[in-house]
């Protein structure tokens, strides 16, 4: 576990950069996490992030298909929003643990 400063706040992250305490998440922290991987967040990104956080809070298993069929985005658009690892990066930015379906 490492300490990192995001949006002026000291947070604990694991070895892969995921927040250890999802209650520390803010939109500003999300913005800093996204910028670190080269993503500029839009309103559409935040819609997806809120959906992911809600599903995680309800202990639902997250998959690319579930997010892509959410009515918020399509699978194709999810890949465009979070290139190189849509579920991995969206989860990291959303402040939730890495889904088990991600490598």
Given a contact cutoff of 8 angstroms between Cβ atoms, the answer to whether 52 and 91 are in contact is yes
Amino acid 102: pLDDT: 74
Q: What is the pTM of this model?
A: 0.93
Domain ranges of the chain: 2-94
pLDDT of 22-61, one tens digit each?
999 999 999 999 999 999 999 999 999 999 999 999 999 8
Amino acid 101: pLDDT: 73
Using CB atoms within 10 A of its CB, is residue 49 exposed (0-12), middle (13-18) or buried (19+)? Answer: buried
Given a contact cutoff of 8 angstroms between Cβ atoms, the answer to whether 86 and 37 are in contact is no
Give catalytic residue positions: 102
Amino acid 86: pLDDT: 94
Between CA 57 and CA 40 the distance in angstroms is 25
Amino acid 36: pLDDT: 94
Radius of gyration of the chain (CA): 13
pLDDT of 73-103, one tens digit each?
999 999 999 999 999 999 999 999 988 777 6
């Amino acid at each position: 576990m490492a300490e990192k400063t995001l949006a002026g706040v000291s947070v604990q992250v694991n070895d892969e950069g995921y927040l250890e305490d999802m209650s520390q998440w803010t939109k500003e922290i999300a913005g800093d996490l996204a910028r670190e991987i080269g993503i500029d967040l839009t309103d559409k990104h935040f819609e997806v992030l809120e959906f992911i956080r809600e599903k995680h809070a309800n202990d639902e298993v997250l998959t690319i298909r579930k997010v892509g069929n959410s009515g918020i985005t399509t699978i194709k658009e999810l890949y465009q929003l979070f290139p190189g690892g849509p579920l991995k990066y969206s989860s990291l930015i959303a402040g939730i643990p890495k889904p088990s379906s991600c490598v």
